[in-house]
Amino acid sequence: MKTFTPDTSIASDVIASPNYGERSKGREPDMILLHYTGMPDAEGAVARLCTAGSDVSSHYIVLEDGRILQCVPEAKRAWHAGVSSWAGEEDINSCSIGIEIVNGGHDWGYPDFPLRQIAAVIALCRGIMLRRKVPPQRVLGHSDVAPSRKKDPGEKFPWHSLANSGVGHWVQPAPIVRGEALMLGTISEDVQNMQMALAKYGYGVPVTGKYDAATMDVVTAFQRHFRPARIDGIADHSTLITLHALLSTLPAAAVTTAS
């Protein structure tokens, strides 16, 4: 694919990536997945996402100055999610549109996201949501769908600012207070109830009643997105109240059946 017509007028350029395929069984995308590039500079990130043999790509790259590059047509399946799951679905690449946001990430200083970059992400997401009928609760981070592998876009990403513009699902996080908490090693009905609540929201967590490493990874990912003031993988009062507030504000049809 040498070039193509961009799906949005706000894309400043097309840099076609050879790394893409067809969406499984004609699946229409109804999710937006946000990433950070996690590399030292934008040039290296663009090269990796657009070079044959790297086996990675995304539909869009948003640069620090707010410019937007499109690399894969929205109708095609980009390779950005890897091993991942959400709401029982495991082929996240087939159901999502991937947006890479240029940022060094946790391995390269994790700088703040510039305001003009976030404004561009919001404008891009709003357009995709309208075109593809993506509901707010299906605008997610890579760490949400791959909690044991990924941290991006991370705790500095201003999800609240996106939500204020109609992008993503958000509630004001409950305040952090002292009190009892669920943590690694706990086995109880309360742990099972928490796992069920996380699974209903969409997270891929086994419902076992045991607070194991996989559960801790999911709680940590939840905190990165929805309660970023403290990220420790411990399900304290603030984490649990925030989770239930999110569930209570979901459309009924969006609640996932926990297994």
Q: With H, G, I as helix, E, B as strand and everything else as coil, classify residue 5.
A: coil
Residue found by looking up tokens 């705790």 in the block: 155
In this prediction, residue 230 carries a pLDDT of: 98
The one-character DSSP state at 148 is: T
The catalytic position among 100, 155, 180, 189 is: 100
pLDDT in tens, the chain (259 residues): 678 999 999 999 999 999 999 999 999 999 999 999 999 999 999 999 999 999 999 999 999 999 999 999 999 999 999 999 999 999 999 999 999 999 999 999 999 999 999 999 999 999 999 999 999 999 999 999 999 999 999 999 999 999 999 999 999 999 999 999 999 999 999 999 999 999 999 999 999 999 999 999 999 999 999 999 999 999 999 999 999 999 999 987 777 765 4
Residue 4: inside a domain, yes or no? Answer: no
Is 259 among the domain residues? no
Q: What is the 3-state secondary structure (H, E, C) of 76-119?
A: CEECCCCCCCECCECCHHHHEEEEEECCCCHHHCCCCCCHHHHH
Boundaries of domain holding 58: 13-164
Indicate whether 232 and 145 sit together in one domain: no
Query: Do 37 and 109 share a structural domain?
Result: yes
Quote the number of domains for the chain: 2
In a domain, 1, yes or no: no
Which are the contacts of 25, defined by CB distance < 8 A and separation ≥ 6?
94
Whether 134 and 204 map to the same domain: the answer is no
- pLDDT for res 84: 98
- Taking the whole predicted model, whether its pTM rises above 0.85 is answered as yes
Residues 111 and 226 both lie in one domain? no
142 and 214 housed in the same domain: no
Q: Is residue 169 part of a domain?
A: no
Which domain CATH number covers 244? Answer: 1.10.101.10
Instruction: Report yes or no on 175 lying in a domain.
Output: no
| CATH code of 89's domain | 3.40.80.10
The HSE-up count of residue 8 (CA atoms within 13 Å, CB side) is 25
Neighbours of 248 (CB within 10 A): 8
Q: What does the alpha-carbon distance between residue 101 and residue 113 come to, in Å, rounded to a whole number?
A: 9
Active site residue 100: yes
| 98 plus 210 within the same structural domain | no
Which residues, other chains included, contact 44 with Cβ-Cβ below 8 Å and sequence gap of 6+? Answer: none
Going by their DSSP bridges, the two strands 60-62 and 96-101 should be labelled as parallel
Residue whose token pair is 């991937």: 98
DSSP label of 202: T
Residues 158 and 200 in one domain: no
| Cα 44 to the center of its chain, rounded Å | 22
pLDDT of residue 76: 98
In a domain, 82, yes or no: yes
Assess whether 70 and 121 both reside in one domain. Answer: yes
How far from the centroid of its chain's Cα atoms is residue 26's Cα?
Answer: 22
Identify the helix (H) or strand (E) that includes residue 128: helix 115-132
